Structure 1
Amino acid sequence: MDYTTDAFIKTLYQETETARSSRNSCLTQEEQRDRLMGRLKQALGELPETSGPLNPVLLERVEYKDFILERITYSTEETLHVPVIVLVPLTGNGPWPAVVACHGHGNGQLDAAGLNSDYRELEETGIHNRFAVQLVKQGMIVVIPEILGFGVRRVAEEMKNGSSPSSCSTLVSQLMLFGRTLAGMRVYEAMRAVDYLSMRPDTDSSRIGVFGFSGGSLIAAYAAALDERLKAAVLCGWTNTFVGSILAMHHCIDNYLPGILQVSEQPELVGLIAPRALFIESGVHDAIFPVPHVHSALSRLQQIYSGCDSESRLSYDLHPGSHEISGKVSVPWLYRMLTTNEINLNFID
């Protein structure tokens, strides 16, 4: 007698997929999209109904070799204070196109810029490959909020005793009691970062994109789906299928949205970004987001973009690395998307 749960989960997935396909067969493409958007919002949980003032404060402004670094703080709610790194190009006066940079698991915002706790540049770039610096050197303002649950935004007791590099599990559990999700709060704060960029006189608010890595790509994808101010999105080390990745192996609990498989697999959720520009980057040796399922996701996304006559706005790069950022193709692609007149065609039917 096999007492494991593997067969149960496999059967549940198959039954859910069959039921979902049957329901969708009765809906038009537009009805499917509207239904999925509504269910995504529902799965992300309750979010603040009104967005109060951010009240940004400049703490420090320092010139580095390749950029100017500003340390900012603002508040997304009365008791939620966010440390933010802003990288400003050294050349020109702006207004520049801008990017919200969503880091993955690790040391928080410092990883995105390749800095240590003293804000000195690290010799080893790690899996984030100093992608925020790649972006600013390309000619874009980059805002890097510390994502809720990482770095200095962990639960105080866990920071004190060093029990965990992140507070994902604790926050997921606690927020659930309030009808909220950690993914939802992070997506909300990414949209507040767009609010902040729109306030800056050196930012072209009509040309804002988002760049995410790993769990940061989840944030980037869902923020771009919900917020049309984000004109282009780069998703690194995440785009896949649920069945091929987070259902197939251990992942952080922050990846899971309640009930979402009842209405969609992952590529359809990413496809909500269409017809706006989208770039998928993944390493062919990424063990936690396997490349065969990246191909499956890309195939579905190509169908979605073809369906809205936007094939030219979908691009990808499968680089020879593992679970890491390359940026070789994705960074110049994002700059091109945010500086070409193509951006003004994004919402024409």
Structure 2
Amino acid sequence: MTHSPSPIAGFEDWPEAVRRLGRSKGHNTASGLLAQALGVPAPIPTPAVTVRRTRTVDGVQLQDLEWQLPYGPPTRGFLLRPTQAEGILPGVLWLHCHGGNKWLGAERLIDAGTETSEEVTALQQNLYSGHAAANDLARAGFAVLVHDSFSWGSRRFLLDPPPARVAEGLSAQRALWREEGVKPTPALEYNTAAALHEHTVAKTAGLLGTSYAGMVAFEDLAALDILRALPDVDGNRVGVGGFSGGGGRALVLSALAPKVRAAVVCCMMTTLKGLFPAHLDTHSWLLATPGLASTFEWPELTRINRDCRYLVQFAGGDPLFSSEGMHDADTWLRDDAAGTPSRYTGTWYDTGHVVTPAMLAETLEYFTVSL
């Protein structure tokens, strides 16, 4: 008998782990509703962390970390601190974007000096204006944790050989590459397969009573616990943030984690209504959890954690969102924060779907003031 490749290779223990964990109840009624809509697994004790390596890069101490979650391969993370830091630091969990690139995880956010790969450099140039956001945050005085989340980097599924449906699409793409004279790199091959495979992951999550976004949130919550538990981090002065899919993750995480005091959402704010119909295909399953829209509008997630302040950065020329959807979200957020205007800051930039140096500078200043 011929056996087809596993559609969840590398994560065969995932279904049993999700059943065993049960579901998160949230920290208040609204967060409970969000956790239920996303199917977030119940929290776990803070994972033990192994430091694999420590080095210094341009004024930043960079540690390679690893921890094990209840399923799948070990998670890789990076902890960055200013080398001249003394005493307890405020903490920032900065979350990597989707970017259509699951070959790379959190390393897209760091400068590893001469060890930075060409693929990381290219991604940083295309999306982050050539900056390593985590290093910039560390030099500004924060302890910064970045990690590979569910299905990225060290947490990616094994797709060689690919499962049947992925194989069909990948075969067609390979034929097109041959016709165009393109010699795909391993990263390009993987990212092409992973884009097709995300539908399978989302389908599997749904069958397990969770969601793609719910699994990512579960892993982000574990990383936040790790950051807050570090001996030189003030667990009561912690912020989260990210660009694009990372910004969406930060919004969800801030709603689920009551200790988050500041959140930066860069290029990831809209009304859900504003996605119809032209922008439905431009987003991943992170923004398309079945049942979420029957409970919350996307901007309404800022209401859940009333102790958190929000900086939302809009890109006026962002092709992934409608202008109407972004402006409606901004209006809703301003109206909602009218009684406490310090809770919301919305800024607009004349750019596309990228992090500009001005956006990053504003982020550093916002965390400095808010934490």
- Normalised-by-shorter TM-score class: 0.7 to 0.9
Runs of 4+ in 1 over 6 A off after TM superposition: none
* Contact kept? 2:269, 2:312, Cα under 8 Å: yes
Aligned-pair CA distance for 1:114: 5.0
Give the Cα separation in 2 of the matches to 1:217 and 1:283: 13
User: 2:39 maps to what in 1?
Assistant: 45
Confirm whether residue 176 of structure 1 aligns to residue 169 of structure 2.
no
Greater relative contact order (Cα 8 A, min sep 6): structure 1 or 2? 2
Aligned-pair CA distance for 1:108: 1.8
Which of residues 105, 108, 113 in structure 2 aligns to 1:108?
105
Report the residue type matching 1:108 in the other structure.
Answer: G
Number of paired residues?
A: 303
Give the Cα separation in 1 of the matches to 2:108 and 2:161: 18
User: 1:127 maps to what in 2?
Assistant: 127
User: 2:193 maps to what in 1?
Assistant: 164
Aligned-pair CA distance for 1:242: 1.0
Q: Which moved more, 1:86-95 or 1:278-287?
A: 86-95
Report the residue type matching 1:57 in the other structure.
Answer: T
Give the Cα separation in 1 of the matches to 2:276 and 2:36: 20
Structure 2 unaligned spans of 5+: 1-27, 163-188
Report the residue type matching 2:158 in the other structure.
Answer: A
Give the Cα separation in 1 of the matches to 2:243 and 2:318: 13
TM-score w.r.t. the length of structure 2 is 0.75
TM-score w.r.t. the length of structure 1 is 0.79
User: 1:301 maps to what in 2?
Assistant: 333
RMSD: 2.5
- CA, structure 1 residues 254+61, in 2 after alignment: closer, same or farther (shift >3 Å)? same
- CA, structure 1 residues 158+336, in 2 after alignment: closer, same or farther (shift >3 Å)? farther
> Could you tell me the percent identity over the aligned residues?
23
Paired residue secondary structure (1:211):
strand
Paired residue secondary structure (2:125):
coil
Give the Cα separation in 1 of the matches to 2:316 and 2:343: 22
Confirm whether residue 312 of structure 1 aligns to residue 342 of structure 2.
yes
Give the Cα separation in 2 of the matches to 1:203 and 1:119: 27
User: 1:337 maps to what in 2?
Assistant: 370
User: 2:138 maps to what in 1?
Assistant: 136
Give the Cα separation in 2 of the matches to 1:73 and 1:219: 21
Q: Which moved more, 1:297-306 or 1:125-134?
A: 125-134
* Contact kept? 1:101, 1:210, Cα under 8 Å: yes
* Contact kept? 1:109, 1:145, Cα under 8 Å: yes
Give the Cα separation in 2 of the matches to 1:247 and 1:266: 17
Provide, for residues 296-339 of structure 1, a one-character-per-residue CA deviation record: whole Å limited to 9, x for no partner. 11111122222xx321121122122211123121221112100x
User: 1:271 maps to what in 2?
Assistant: 303
Report the residue type matching 1:89 in the other structure.
Answer: P
Give the Cα separation in 2 of the matches to 1:147 and 1:79: 11
* Contact kept? 1:221, 1:273, Cα under 8 Å: no
Paired residue secondary structure (1:315):
strand
Structure 1 unaligned spans of 5+: 1-33, 339-349
Which of residues 94, 98, 115 in structure 1 aligns to 2:91?
98
Aligned-pair CA distance for 1:263: 2.6
Provide, for residues 21-52 of structure 1, a one-character-per-residue CA deviation record: whole Å limited to 9, x for no partner. xxxxxxxxxxxxx76534311111150x3513
